[in-house]
Structure 1
Amino acid sequence: MLLKSCDILTTILQSVFFVWICNNISSKENKLSKFKAIVLVLIIFIISTIFTYSDISGSYISLVMVIFTLLSIILFYRKSILDGLLGFGLANLIIVLSSYFVFSFYQSVIVELKLKVSTELQMLLFVFIPAWSIYFLFYKLRKYFFNAIFALKNLRPSLIFVLILNYTLVLLDILRLTLHTVDIELMFRYAVYFITLVIFIFSIIYFARINDSSKEVELLNAALNNKIIELKKLKHDYGSEISSLYGLYQLGKIDRIGQLLKSIVDSYQSLDTGININVQATPLVASVLHSAVSKGIDVIAFDSADYENLSITDNDLLKVLSNIIKNSIDALADTVNPTIKFKSYNNYNGVLITILNNGPEIPKKIMHKIFETGFSTKNNMSEDRGFGLNIVSNIINQCNGKISVESNAQWTQFTIELPYKIS
């Protein structure tokens, strides 16, 4: 009776675990209401109970149960299936790992000790309580796990990629069940599973980054094609204008020639030569980045953050972004093919923003000085430089945020963390 009660409690915890994780990493418009969340918990609990206590045995019953659970989550998170898939993957990973290490330890160590206590008490002390403790530990460290998922979401993985990721996690679980049926030393079994998991995680990161870079290249190619079309139109327009100039010259209308030349010069000067790729850019971010585009700098922006309920005002956020972009524009003055990349996304604590440029490296010896008042790498004889980044630092400190900078020969990146308001 004790074991069955503990097993039911564990099933309830795992069902809540799936929904709780999915809801925490979901975008604002995809979060479930309390009612829908409770319904999904009940559905997952029923699925788990049916397959756990069915007469069917073997490792494949676990696969079928997981597939039904996954389909239920996808159904409820159909507005953004990616959120459901990633949430399922993280929850399943924690459950699989905790089950594997707890049961391996119990079967290979505790059983061999032949303790003079009942099997039920042994299971409670060395299986269920440790498993519940792992779930509680995850809850305490949830910020780090959720931020890792948010970072993966920011790499914009495809649905197929994440589906393969989840399928591989399920296969790892089947591997866990298979290893339990083979007579292998405990430490070797741990090593095999751990190495497989590490390789798998690094593969996820590697292919997600490749996927992210390929999407950037795809967007750049599309933007270049648009520029080519724009240039063809300009060529046609200039041809017509030159013909008009020649016609006015033949008619001797010198005043009209001057007016037409002025309009041609004005239109040329207002032409943006930079490539501008904005994905979901908010008006505030788009307005800040336009200053870079107007100076012929290529801008790639993936602005997926929700800036509501932050501890920083819109006006201060505008000051922060404007000063960093202005600093980047100055740094790119002598750079061939100058580029600024802007990325933002919500993490567990607030919003994370990265602003990267391909300008010259900031020397290590002055890196710690760049946020000081009046410090500038440019000529500062008039003493009107060196305040922008100091203003940025002060504003971010006032809202309990963080700012850091990394620089090498290829790029310089500012990373900004802005927390939510404390309610």
Structure 2
Amino acid sequence: MNTTRTVAIVGAGYAGVLAANRLQASLTETERLSMSIVMVNPRAVFIDRIRLHQLAAGTTDAATIPLDHVLHPDVTVIVGEVTRILPERNGIVIDAAKGPIELPYDVLIYAVGSGAPPSIPGGASSHSVGTHDEALMAGAAVRRLVPGNRIVVVGGGATGVEMASELAEENPQMDIVLVSAGLLLSSLPQRGRKYVKSTLAFLNVQVVENERVVHVDMNFVELEGGRRIRSDLTIWTGSFTVPALARASALAVDAAGRLLVTETLQHQAYPNIIGAGDSVSVHGDAGKHLRMGCAVAAPMGGHAAVTALAYLRCQPPTALSIGFFIRCLSLGRRNGFVQHVGKDDVPKRVQLSGRAGAWVKERICVGVISGIQKERTSPGSYWTAPAPGARTFLRGARRLNQSRVVAGRKKAP
């Protein structure tokens, strides 16, 4: 009789891949014989999303990594799109190349990520860097422009600033305008915002603050007060949206469609459904300070693995503990900005900028990938600051390693 238990992971982004690696590498010898970890993703590549603005600007020609370069070799990959979760039957429906598949699971890790499609009138006339395909199309559109054309970047957050900076540095012959609905990088201290704005000015990026774009046309963007800004190409970097999979599967979601999970990352009604990354909303103190991005998605994926192991081993789950240390921005390839923050993401006094800031930012980007890869052999090694109020670093890793030893002793033949 087949007694194999299956952990299905939906999504091969920062959260999903780290979850798969940590989970597979943490299994005891006995567990490896009786457990199958299956990852479902629309393509057999990992998208390095923090490089997508570079792909659109033309400062890199690739933002993908073959999955087998980052994923544990014992994880099974199904290329396809999950169209439905059937929580009452513990199954998922996959639209694969050879037709629909229904895959049963014992544990499901929901890590479908996010995108950034514009949802305003005329939004289809703009481009985005929310997904790899969209970034490729934006890059192709940039290459079709001629000197003197204007690119309008909509969104005054980190993605918008990085996009505008990268475009301006790589395409100095273009006219770049960055439009922000509020203050540019409003969560940064005034000194930090002043530096970023001066760098954008040096790159000849025109910044328009406190102006909301309400309509996009092929030749202009329209602001809330009726003013129009000419645009030969509009790139949308506004707030992220998430796939509708959880809502379509009648699972509890927030107003934005993110899967609602407890502090242990489990769905309240279905504790064998565990969420991680941009596509989930964590209830309680453990999640109130978190923001979208790989700085949260990757460690959430790691904790999803810890929770999955606890569930499979009939052990009590532990609460998520993620804090912050820095925020970093690339301002083109030669300039950057780093803001020291507390565990609660509140900015501190220390800042780093210029070439040193660019160096730190690049090391962080490289370190995210190498950290995920290291989890294939050293589960729990991905470094994460603890949540506000926590006393030590890497508490999740220690709990993971301790539980692995205990489980090994219990199950040793």
TM-score (norm 1): 0.24
Q: Which structure is richer in relative contact order (CA contacts within 8 A, separation 6 or more)?
A: 2
Q: Which has the higher helix share?
A: 1
Query: Which one has a bigger Cα radius of gyration?
Result: 1
Q: Return the structure number with greater strand share.
A: 2
